[in-house]
Amino acid sequence: MSLFMKAICENCMERFIQEAPPLGRIAHEHVFKVIRFALYIMDTMSFPDVQTSETCLAAVQKDGNLLEFVKEQTPEICLAAIQQNAHALKYVKEQTPELCLAAVQLDSHTLKYMKEQTPELCLTAVRKNPYSLEYVKEQTPELCLVAVQRDGRTLEYVNDQPLLLCLIAVQQNGLALKYMKEQTPELCLASVQQNGLALEYVKEQTPKICLAAVKQNGYALEFVKEQTPNICVAAVLQNKDAVRYVKD
């Protein structure tokens, strides 16, 4: 039986390498299921002569996640797997700075698979996608600043929120107010001046904040708790359709 299974694996590998089309074509998903099964069998049945460097390299070049079943990983095979699918990093047994950098440059979210996060890798990830800040184990003021400067809403993942950082965040995107741990009248005002709809997240509204909000976006009238004629007029002047939010 083992020789029979070995023959099946060899045949699957050969057909996969020669015939499998590029990834992304849903109609060919069954091909990858076959090769995954073949490599799994090779792994569990221990056929060392079937898993050669050549067959493994060819396999991960088609589907990087097949690295999970590669017994003898080499830097070349690992790099090829990552280049095909950055998330294959999670299957790399011995991560190196070079492999991690290659992965994070392709997909910043691979930061969550890294066993050892260096400041350089974290900075590369956050610069590529500020939301990767979520996966940074040890945040620094520099990393947090880079993140909120690109998208203020990443304030959601900032552990320590100093006043200046919060101000930068809401000036970039007023809706970042939603993720602010401690609001101040100044930060709330800055938020609605950038995006009037941020009024929805203001815990303690004042006439000044509400007026600034509707002047920026008339639809912010929807979130005004205590409407005044002055605020309503300002909202409608900014957007005539805001009249729908005027309370009787």
- The reported pLDDT for the residue numbered 138 is 96
Examine residue 124 and state whether it is found in any structural domain, yes or no.
no
- The reported pLDDT for the residue numbered 45 is 43
- C-alpha 150/C-alpha 152 separation (Å) is 7
Examine residue 75 and state whether it is found in any structural domain, yes or no.
yes
Three-state SS for 153?
A: helix
Examine residue 234 and state whether it is found in any structural domain, yes or no.
yes
Q: Domains in the chain: how many in total?
A: 2
- The reported pLDDT for the residue numbered 39 is 58
Examine residue 88 and state whether it is found in any structural domain, yes or no.
yes
Give 246's contacts (C-beta < 8 A, 6+ positions apart): 221, 227, 232, 235, 236
Examine residue 143 and state whether it is found in any structural domain, yes or no.
no
- The reported pLDDT for the residue numbered 4 is 42
- C-alpha 180/C-alpha 86 separation (Å) is 33
| Structural domain harbouring 224 | 202-248
- The reported pLDDT for the residue numbered 26 is 47
Distance, CA of 33 to chain centre: 27
Over residues 146-160, the pLDDT tens digits come to 999 999 999 999 999
- The reported pLDDT for the residue numbered 113 is 96
- The reported pLDDT for the residue numbered 47 is 53
Pair of tokens at residue 45: 């049945």
Domain closes at, from 94, 120, 135: 94
Examine residue 182 and state whether it is found in any structural domain, yes or no.
no
Widest CA span of the chain, in angstroms? 87
Domain closes at, from 66, 94, 122: 94
- The reported pLDDT for the residue numbered 82 is 97
- The reported pLDDT for the residue numbered 75 is 96
- C-alpha 109/C-alpha 131 separation (Å) is 8
Query: Could you say which residues of the chain have pLDDT below 70?
Result: 1-50
Examine residue 133 and state whether it is found in any structural domain, yes or no.
no
- Give the count of beta carbons closer than 10 Å to the beta carbon of residue 181: 10
**Single pTM value for the model:** 0.77
Examine residue 245 and state whether it is found in any structural domain, yes or no.
yes
Domain closes at, from 72, 94, 116: 94
